[in-house]
């Protein structure tokens, strides 16, 4: 079982990707690079300590969020990035596509 955190894996993934986009858009100014690094570390810890089942649950939760967005919208693109990231994490851990 994973150590309890305030955020679910899919939320940490979304925060990390959003922080990376923000850092890129700001050319790493205003502390954005540090926030992206902290978000990356929190995500990495959550993923590496998660079980295969927990990664599957996170992936499905991310898919649910993606399905709630209008296809092709900016929010859908962001949600798709999260679901694809978690799909790959799940598959890398030995999970199957379902």
Q: Are 93 and 55 in contact (CB under 8 A)?
A: yes
Angle between helices 74-92 and 52-67 (to 10 degrees): 160
The ranges assigned to domains in the chain are 9-92
pLDDT at residue number 11: 97
Does the structure show a pLDDT above 70 at 4? no
pLDDT digits (tens, 9 = 90+) for 14-53: 999 999 999 998 898 888 899 999 999 999 999 999 999 9
């Amino acid at each position: 079982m994973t150590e309890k955190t305030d955020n679910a894996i899919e939320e940490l993934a979304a925060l990390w990707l959003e922080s990376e986009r923000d850092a890129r858009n700001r050319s790493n100014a205003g502390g954005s690079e540090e926030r992206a690094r902290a978000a990356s570390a929190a995500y990495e810890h959550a993923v590496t300590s998660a079980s295969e089942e927990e990664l599957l649950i996170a992936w499905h939760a991310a898919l649910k969020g993606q399905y709630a967005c209008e296809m092709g919208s900016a929010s859908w693109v962001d949600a798709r990035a999260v679901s694809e990231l978690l799909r790959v994490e799940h598959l890398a851990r030995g999970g199957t596509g379902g």
